[in-house]
Structures are given as structure tokens and as C-alpha cells.
Structure 1
Amino acid sequence: METYGKILLIAMPAFFVLVLFEKFWGVWKGQDTVPVTDMISSLSSGITNVTKDVLGLSIVVISYGWLFEKFSFFQIEASWLVYVIAFFALDFAGYWTHRIAHEYNIFWNNHIIHHSSEEFNLACALRQSISSIVKIFAVFLIPAALLGVPPQVIAVVAPLHLFAQFWYHTRHIGRMGFLEKIIVTPSHHRVHHAINPEYLDKNYGQIFIFWDKWFGTYQEEKPEIPAIYGVTRPVQTWNPIKINFMHLWLLIKDAWRAQKWSDKLKIWFMPLGWRPADVAQKYPVSKIEDVYHFDKYNSHLSQGMLFWSFCQLIVLLLLISYLFGNLAAIGTPGIFYYGGFVFLTVYAYSELMDRNPNAWVWELIKAVYAFYFVVTSGDWFDLNKFLPGSIYIFVGYLVISVGLSIWYSFRKIDFQLAN
């Protein structure tokens, strides 16, 4: 937990700088692929994901350590070759978990957030799940366990493998010659994120593209077919917490409404998009029929609302950095209370970004939640000890945040298109 938190203290600023670089690069080149609202939503999703992971808010059904202990045929030293084997094993496992997430209803809920952006940029790479509470990933690492790859090697390689999937989420890099035959490139991954019928559910590879070629899921990007991004059932929100559970909520409602008991059970394990016939007829859901003619989601924020939303993101990044750098000092259960504040903050300002007229209620709940800890302890998880005077800044932020949320929630003006 603490080690991962310290890694994120380095990784988060690096990712943020790269996202901003892509934004400014696109503006300079006349091809801006990073709308501000989309960027804030994506980065907010990343914050919720790493918070969940650092706090360990998941259940591992089968751990790699258990597999290694029960099934390893060999005991091998952690040489450079073992790290290479581990990297390939993780990528093999990643291919299959990724593919399953796209092919079955029950697993799509863990992945919809990653595809929810109707743009394709570095920021959308950070749209990662908080709904994957039960993890089965280790099952696909059985080959590594059989070969005797030590658990500590997997622990080192796994974050590197994850971070290495960031760079290819961009439209500013074209085809890459011979590398297209070996690794996943931006061209390959643009296909994967596209909802064009020709591209749908292709290129599941995470680092190496040959898995797709071997298992029949490869599709080359075609110049005459420009990729259109998003999901075929548009999420229509900037709120990453809502997005994480909307597919699950649809499945629950469909299972409840279905007349046949067999449909109530099998809906979870049927191919993605399958719905009971009686439910689909009585309760249709909005779906994109023509990918070349639909309106992207845009809540039409004013420049002031955009600026304030970005300020909220910056404040949260600073506060989450303090959490990750002081996990041991804050301790349990403090880190979980702090995590609750993080989730409330994201929910509140993303509701305001959606122009939900009740967004101010969530902001008020967040402030009351925070004030409880400030009043009862005289500090915000020892932040004032770390930086004298910071408690006054934090309280001021809470007051301003509530005030502006109420102002924007009730302000009756025509909002200009801001992005």
C-alpha cells in the first residue's frame, strides 16, 4: 500500500504533465484532441481508481502468491530473464481479461469507464475502473506460477506493465513501421477504442499485438475509415463514479424486469449487449445506430465553470498527493475516511460539470463531511502539522466551493459553448 502510494507520487505528476503537453501540442498544431471537460473527467476517474487501489478496496478471489505456492514446478531466482518471462505472462493474462471484459455482460461493467470518452487522448488512458471489486486476474497467471516466477517479480513488473499502456492513447502519432507487427501502437489502439462496425471489439493486446494476430482479433486501422470513439450506449455524463456502475445498474434492472427466470440468470453471462427480448421491447435504451451522425456529449459550460472545475481538480490532486505521501502517518481508519472525501469531491464537482441543478447538495454534503473531521480533530488529518496554516486554506476552499456550487447551480443564464 505505502510503496504503491509513493510510486504514484511520481507517476501522477508525470501523467498530468504529459496530458497537458498533449493539450497544448494539439492547440499548437490546430488539432486539439483534449477538450477540457473530457480531460477533467478522465483525470478524476484516474484519481478515484488509484485511491481505490491504494486503499485496497477489492477482494482477490485467487492471489498469485497462492497459485505460486500450490502449483509451481520450479523454484527459480529472480534474474533478468525471469522479469522478461513475467512481463510476457502479464501481457498474456491482460489480453484475456481484456477480451473477456468486452465479450460478457457481467465483466463489461468493470471496463466501460475506459471506453466512455468520446475522444481519444492520453487523459482517457486514466479512465480506470473502481467497480472491479472482485479480481480474478491471477487465474490467467497460472502459466507463470507453473514456471516458478516469484510473486515479488510479479509485484515489480505489474505496475511497469500498467504504466506502459499509457503512451499509445493518442491521435498525434501515426503508424510506426515495423513496430506495428510487434507492439501495440496508437494506430492499433485507436481501432480498439472505435465504435465503427469494422473496428468494434478488436485489438485487445496491451503491450504486444501478436496475441490478437494469433487469436483472431486483429484489425488494422484503415485511412478510409476514420475511428469514431466512445461506447454504442453513450454515457452522457462527466461523472466517472456514475459511469462505473451504470452498466451494472442496467443489468440489475433488466434481470428484475425479465419475465423468465432463465433470462434473469443468463443475462449476466450472455454476450455484451444481450437483453431479454421482452425487456428490450418494453424498456428500450438509447443506442448509436449511425456512428458518423450523432452528437457528442457536451454540457455547454461557461468559461467560469470550466475554470472552477479545473481548480477543483488541482486542489484534489494536491490533497490526494498528501494522502499518498502520508499513508502510514494517517493510518487506519483515517485513510478510508480521507478516501471517502476524495470520492465525494469527485462526485460533487462532476455533477456540477453535468449542470445537475442538485449539484450543490453534493457539494454541501462534502463540506459537512470534511468539517466534521476538522471540528472534531482541529486539523485535517495532520495537514496543518505538515504545513502550518494550511487548515485555514482548506476551510476557505470548502466555503468557496460550496458558495460557487450554489451560485452555478441556480444561475439562470445561457451557457456558452466552452470546448
Structure 2
Amino acid sequence: MQDPNFPNIILFAIPVFIIAMLLELYVTVKQGIKTYETKDAVSSIAMGLGNVFLGFFSKALVLLAFFYIYEHFRLFTIPITWWSFVLIFFADDLAYYWFHRTSHECRLFWASHVVHHSSQHYNLSTALRQTWSGGFYSFIFWLWLPLLGFHPGMILLQMSISLLYQFWIHTEAIDKLPKWFEAVFNTPSHHRVHHGSNPLYLDRNHAGILIIWDKLFGTFQPELKDEKVVYGLVKNIDTYNPITIAFIEWVQMFKDAFSGRKSLKHRLLYLIKPPGWRHDGTGQLSDDLRKEWTDLLRNEQFSVKKNKNEA
């Protein structure tokens, strides 16, 4: 079978990104929403340009790995036809869900993914705030696709389609979409939750295109009107320097793992455990923060109800 020659659609989409950001800026200003901050947007765009540049090298590694498995170990040969694109749509989206979820639950993957969450603003430029390091190892979540028999070029094309889809959901200009769409697809509302640092919203809505995976695997959280999303990290890094944004968590992770007196087990666990984990038990994970917030809210509601009854 002749190898297909799929285009790099991300490069073709760059002019569309620019036009969309200008349109979003105009719409949000008209709506009275202050969503852009110049230094923050410039940092996001710089991160995106760095990601595109490094992508020339990381994609070579990814293609090499995909082709090696496809040529030597594939279980089937899946033809490139309409129904195989339907299959890979769901397969790629499932792979993305588990990659994305793991990127929040394993610090080694969070070290690269934290870049995307480092902005305290939420707009289309935030979608461009991409990792400089993740592309060199995150592809392991897709290795089962060439093993099944999907052609590597087909896989990379679908990964790019997923990435393009996720661009437009990084906005506050769109509130809620029709219920049927919100029920099935990832939307601006669902993804605003994902970018929230509110305890209720932490590590929720890991979807790429389909929100059904979060509903199926128990990580779905709707956006609530009475819980406005606070964007950014639990502890924000407060810098616009792209190099710092790209590598600060790597430095902190290795510092935690390899400094001080710790057992080898604890050093390894700093790479595997979720962000916030500490070997001495003093750390707080997202589940701890969520429980703490829920208990506080429950106590406040109980106090209000008690005061009303006494009155």
C-alpha cells in the first residue's frame, strides 16, 4: 500500500488563529469582558511558536516510533477509508482523554502540561500556550493505534484535527451551546471548568472532542453559575517569561525528587504521584482540596439553616 501524504493542517490554520483572536477581542470588548492582557497573550503566543518549532523535531520522533510499531508489530492492517476515519476519531479521542487525565494525575506529565494551565486568563491565545517538552514523550498514549494497524500518517492527522477542535473552546465569548451539543461534545463551558483553579473544578473535564469520556469515567463537572471559574493554578507562577513557563515545574519536580534526605522510593514517587503530593504527608491533592471546600460549604449551609430556624 502506498503511504498517504497528509498535510500539516496546524500550519495552514495559523492565519485562522490570528483572525479568530482579533474577532474574539472585538466581541469580548463589546460584551464588557476583559479577557485579554497584553503580556499574558504575548507569552501564550510565544509558547505556541516555540511548540510549533520544536514540533518539527518531536514529530520526527513520534513518526519514527509509530512507523516502527506499524511496520514490525501491527496486529491488523486497517485500510484508509471512510469507516477507518470514524474508528480513529473515537480511538484518538479516547487516547487523548487518558493522556490528558494522566497529565493531571502524574507529576512527570504535569511538568509539561502545567504550561497550558499557567495563564490566569482564558481566551483563544491561551489555546496556543503549549508545552515545549511534552511532545517528546506524551505520544506513548497513542502507541496502541499503530499496533492495531492504523497508519501513522492517519494518526497524526487525527491528532491535529483534535488539537484544532480544542482551539475554539478556549473562550468566554460563548456561554452555553444547545443541550444536545453540550451533552456530547467538549464546549467552551466544559473547558472553562477544566482551566479552573476552584477546588470544585480541579482535574475535571479532560475531554478532547467528546465530553462523553468524562461522563463515562467519572471526571465530568458542569460549569455552575454560582461558582465563577477562577483561571490559573492553585499556586500561580506569576511570570510572563516563556522559558520560565516552559521549565519551572521540571526544575521544581527534580528539586523535590532529588534534594534532601529521602528514600529511593520517595524520590521516584515525586515523579509518579499527582501534583501536590509530599512524602511527609503535608501535601494536598486536588481531591483533598475538593473535600475541604465541600466540607466548608456544607458547614456554611448548615449554619445558615440553623440561624434561620432559630430566628
Q: Does structure 1 retain, via aligned residues, the 8 Å contact 2:63–2:152?
A: no
Aligned counterparts of 2:9 and 2:135: Cα–Cα separation in 1: 22
Aligned counterparts of 1:95 and 1:66: Cα–Cα separation in 2: 24
2:131 maps to which residue?
129
Matched, 1:189 2:194: no
* TM-score, L = length of structure 2: 0.82
1:112 maps to which residue?
114
Inter-CA distance 256–61: structure 2 relative to 1 (3 Å threshold): farther
Aligned counterparts of 2:166 and 2:202: Cα–Cα separation in 1: 20
Please show how residues 23-172 of structure 1 align to structure 2 within 5 Å.
23-56=25-58, 59-60=61-62, 63-132=65-134, 134-142=136-144, 144-145=145-146, 147-172=148-173
User: In the alignment, which of 229, 232, 252 is matched to residue 231 of structure 2?
Assistant: 229
1:146 Cα deviation from its structure 2 partner:
5.0
1:70 Cα deviation from its structure 2 partner:
3.9
Please show how residues 314-333 of structure 1 align to structure 2 within 5 Å.
none
1:248 Cα deviation from its structure 2 partner:
1.1
1:90 Cα deviation from its structure 2 partner:
1.1
Q: Does structure 1 retain, via aligned residues, the 8 Å contact 2:58–2:136?
A: no
Matched, 1:200 2:199: no
1:92 Cα deviation from its structure 2 partner:
0.8
Aligned counterparts of 2:55 and 2:9: Cα–Cα separation in 1: 12
1:165 Cα deviation from its structure 2 partner:
0.9
2:271 maps to which residue?
268
Aligned counterparts of 1:198 and 1:168: Cα–Cα separation in 2: 20
1:164 Cα deviation from its structure 2 partner:
1.2
1:55 Cα deviation from its structure 2 partner:
4.0
SS at match of 2:134: coil
Identity %: 38
Q: How many corresponding residue pairs?
A: 280
Aligned counterparts of 2:8 and 2:90: Cα–Cα separation in 1: 26
Q: Does structure 1 retain, via aligned residues, the 8 Å contact 2:106–2:272?
A: yes
Q: Which stretch of the first structure deviates more once superposed, 71-80 or 106-115?
A: 71-80
1:136 Cα deviation from its structure 2 partner:
4.2
Instruction: Give CA deviations for 1:326-353 in whole Å, capped at 9, x if unaligned.
Output: xxxxxxxxxxxxxxxxxxxxxxxxxxxx
Q: Which stretch of the first structure deviates more once superposed, 21-30 or 210-219?
A: 21-30
Q: What amino acid sits opposite 2:209 in the alignment?
A: I
1:211 maps to which residue?
213
Task: Show structure 2 runs of 5+ residues with no match.
Answer: 284-291, 294-311
Inter-CA distance 140–53: structure 2 relative to 1 (3 Å threshold): closer
Inter-CA distance 82–278: structure 2 relative to 1 (3 Å threshold): closer
1:337 maps to which residue?
none
Inter-CA distance 191–136: structure 2 relative to 1 (3 Å threshold): closer
2:304 maps to which residue?
none
Aligned counterparts of 1:60 and 1:163: Cα–Cα separation in 2: 19
Inter-CA distance 279–210: structure 2 relative to 1 (3 Å threshold): closer
Q: Does structure 2 retain, via aligned residues, the 8 Å contact 1:255–1:267?
A: yes
1:174 maps to which residue?
175
Q: Does structure 2 retain, via aligned residues, the 8 Å contact 1:62–1:136?
A: no
1:220 Cα deviation from its structure 2 partner:
0.9
1:112 Cα deviation from its structure 2 partner:
0.7
Q: What amino acid sits opposite 1:269 in the alignment?
A: I
Q: Does structure 2 retain, via aligned residues, the 8 Å contact 1:258–1:278?
A: no
Q: Does structure 2 retain, via aligned residues, the 8 Å contact 1:125–1:166?
A: yes
Aligned counterparts of 2:246 and 2:63: Cα–Cα separation in 1: 21
Q: What amino acid sits opposite 1:45 in the alignment?
A: M
Q: Does structure 2 retain, via aligned residues, the 8 Å contact 1:195–1:232?
A: yes
1:89 Cα deviation from its structure 2 partner:
1.3
Q: Does structure 2 retain, via aligned residues, the 8 Å contact 1:61–1:136?
A: no
Rg larger in structure: 1
SS at match of 1:198: helix
User: In the alignment, which of 230, 241, 244 is matched to residue 242 of structure 1?
Assistant: 244
Aligned counterparts of 1:42 and 1:98: Cα–Cα separation in 2: 19
1:141 Cα deviation from its structure 2 partner:
4.4
Inter-CA distance 133–6: structure 2 relative to 1 (3 Å threshold): closer
1:106 Cα deviation from its structure 2 partner:
1.2
Aligned counterparts of 2:130 and 2:109: Cα–Cα separation in 1: 14
1:35 Cα deviation from its structure 2 partner:
1.6
Q: Does structure 2 retain, via aligned residues, the 8 Å contact 1:110–1:130?
A: yes
Aligned counterparts of 2:194 and 2:70: Cα–Cα separation in 1: 33
Aligned counterparts of 1:154 and 1:63: Cα–Cα separation in 2: 12
* Greater RCO (Cα-Cα under 8 Å, separation 6 or more): 2
